[in-house]
Amino acid sequence: MTRPHRSSEDTNSLRPHRRTVVKAAAATAVLAGPFAATRPARAAAQAPAFLHGVASGDPLPDGVLLWTRVTPTPEAIPGSGLGPDVEVDWVVARDRAFTSVVARGSTVATAASDHTVKADVRGLEPATDYWFRFSAGGTVSPAARTRTAPAAEAAVAGLRFGVVSCANWEAGHFAAYRHLASRGDLDAWLHLGDYIYEYGSGEYAARGTVVRPHSPAHEILTLADYRIRHATYKTDPDLQALHAAAPVVAIWDDHEFADNAWSGGAANHTEGAEGTWAARKAAAKQAYFEWMPVRPALEGTTYRRLRFGRLADLSLLDLRSFRSQQAATGSGAVDDPDRTLTGRAQLDWLKAGLSASDTTWRLVGNSVMIAPFAVGSLSADLLKPLAKLLGLPQEGLAVNTDQWDGYTDDRRELLAHLRAHHIRNTVFLTGDIHMAWANDVPVDAGTYPLSPSAATEFVVTSVTSDNLDDFVKVPEGTVSAVAAPVIRAANRHVHWVDTDRHGFGVLDLTAERAQMDYYVLSDRTAADASASWVRSYRTRSGTQTVERTYDPV
């Protein structure tokens, strides 16, 4: 996602009513002590400390990946490379009181892994809630809930996932995470990229105002830098609360590396002056896998597949590691069959998985929008900031080359595969663009709806990162009221777009439909921001089209 470039109801019910404000309180019972807003963590006492919370991820029917970071001594702060080895024990139980322990073990936290540890626990029961915690040197971590996936062949009545993207520390507080954590009904939550941002302090904030400064203050380039930045984010109490409430399934996008990253570089990387891209990318990947409860997939990427009974499988993409450099807009290179977004191996893997799937729903975790997007006849005062947000020429050529629009051959091949093999119920879940969308994914946008839709797409807005009204610096909702009708008129497959607000989504699956409920925050810059439901869209099984519903789950 292109950013400005530097110069040189406390949900007591599982079915909240529409327009109900989510009144969640932070789950302070599972959080570690005080948090520093401007430092990676407070200094540990002489005893080991768990300053960055605990987390779980990538649930399987028989297991889940557990994560924490221990600070063994005061000098062993993230990125320092200092501190002794320390043994870390973990325990998993069926109850929060840990009276029914089902698994335990130990590992060693070392400076080589920035004192982060993971435990890939197996032998658990499917579709079951568990509690886990860590201990080291007499110190016990907060306790947290996790949940295993249903058995592979289980008939599953329903699944519910939180869905988020684009959480910029400097642009606000992570109240969206707090509201998701408070629900108590999530099987897991999906983070679709931009979990952290790489910019130096002040380079990309909230309408130019830093709500809370990044650490380190400079743009992150080295392994130590990336470790410190991840650690800073992990001190956020709302992020810790969500990690302690449900397992995460995460993929990366560009800002885990640098803006508009591709296989050989990034818009926000100057080769030589900022070191080599190969070294920077390696550092970013190492820090990511140290600090995230994610299993590295093929070649240290994030593309992998999880299954949730016979109801759904989830194919997770890596759209940064293998892509060709973004085309110059207007060059015609967007249609070049030698250019790729996915890479050959990943696209073949995705196509094969979609063909072989025997689940009702085929979900695709997708970091950039796959539905085509033409800017249309926006007025100049709106076109310029939209072009800035999307990385388009400000004269307004209608394509965003960082998205699937910039790699049309890959998209054509994938959509043709869905049609040729009669693959139904494919739903792309997308972040990156800082707006909320509900889209059909047409085979031919120019003739749609006379031509078919091959899939559907739900796009979530940003947790905090600037969107269109922030660039224009007008009251929230002002731009969307003008721009959304124009965008929809130029893109007949777009059922809804909200260009202005920040928030999150909740995806609810049954055999009959896949539904996304969209929630927005009252104020991204307020730590105590409320959240409210605004829209719900669903796709019914077998239809490949989106429709509005007035029944949020």
Q: Which domain holds residue 167?
A: 149-548
How many other C-beta atoms are found inside a 10 Å radius of the C-beta of residue 266? 24
Are residue 138 and residue 230 in the same domain, yes or no?
A: no
- Interatomic CA distance for residues 146 and 203, integer angstroms: 36
Tell me, yes or no, whether 198 and 345 share the same domain. Answer: yes
Give dist(CA 542, CA 307) in Å, integer.
Answer: 20
For residue 121, tell me if it sits in a domain. yes
Q: Is residue 20 part of a domain?
A: no
Q: 366 by DSSP, 3-state: which? A: strand
The pLDDT tens digits along the chain (553 residues) read: 544 433 333 333 333 332 222 222 222 222 233 233 333 444 445 789 999 999 999 999 999 999 999 999 999 999 999 999 999 999 999 999 999 999 999 999 999 999 999 999 999 999 999 999 999 999 999 999 999 999 999 999 999 999 999 999 999 999 999 999 999 999 999 999 999 999 999 999 999 999 999 999 999 999 999 999 999 999 999 999 999 999 999 999 999 999 999 999 999 999 999 999 999 999 999 999 999 999 988 768 999 999 999 999 999 999 999 999 999 866 678 889 999 999 999 999 999 999 999 999 999 999 999 999 887 666 666 666 766 666 654 443 446 889 999 999 999 999 999 999 999 999 999 999 999 999 999 999 989 999 999 999 999 999 999 998 888 888 888 888 888 988 898 899 999 999 999 999 999 999 999 999 999 999 999 999 999 999 999 999 999 999 999 978 7
Structure tokens at 353: 């998985």
Please report whether residue 7 resides in a domain: no
CATH code at position 161: 3.60.21.70
Enter the DSSP assignment of 275.
Answer: B
DSSP string of 92-109, one letter each residue: EESSTT--SEEEEEEEEE
Reduced to 3 states (helix: H, G, I; strand: E, B; else coil), residue 250 is strand
Same domain as 537, residue 436: yes
CB 258 within 8 A of CB 200: no
Same domain as 158, residue 144: no
Q: Please report the sign of the dihedral spanned by the C-alpha atoms of residue 235, residue 239, residue 245, residue 248.
A: negative
Same structural domain, 217 and 141: no
Would you state the structure tokens that stand for residue 492, as one six-digit string?
Answer: 């007949």
Nearest to 174 by CA among 186, 184, 183, 166: 166
Separation of alpha carbons 224 and 229, rounded Å: 9
Cα Rg, the chain, nearest whole Å: 22
Question: Does 527 map to a domain?
Answer: yes
Residues 67 and 111 in one domain: yes
Please tell me the total count of domains within the chain: 2
Same domain flag for 351 and 488: yes
* Cα distance between residue 215 and residue 39, in whole Å: 6
3-class SS string, 331-346: CCHHHCCCCCCCCHHH
Residues 492 and 461 in one domain: yes
Give 370's DSSP letter.
-
Q: Are both 97 and 242 inside the same structural domain?
A: no
The CATH number covering residue 54 comes to 2.60.40.380
**375 and 440 share one domain:** yes
The Cα 463–Cα 539 span in angstroms is 24
Look at residue 334 and tell me if it is in a domain: yes
Look at residues 148, 165, 186 and tell me which one is the last residue of a structural domain: 148
User: How far, in Å, CA of 411 to CA of 417, rounded?
Assistant: 10
Exposed e or buried b per residue across 395-423, where buried means at least 16 C-beta atoms within 10 angstroms of its C-beta: ebebbbbbbbbbbbbbbeebbebbeeeeb
**DSSP string of 489-500, one letter each residue:** HH-TTEEEEESS
Domain final residue pick, 111, 131, 148:
148
Same domain, 54 and 197: no
Question: Is the residue at 425 inside a domain?
Answer: yes
Do 309 and 435 belong together in one domain? yes
Distance CA 68, CA 119 (A): 9
Distance between CA atoms of residues 393 and 152, nearest Å: 47
Cis peptide, bond prior to residue 142, ω within 30 of zero: no
Determine if the pTM surpasses 0.85. yes
* Sign, CA torsion 31/289/297/422: positive
> Which token pair is 218?
């400079």
In a domain, 489, yes or no: yes
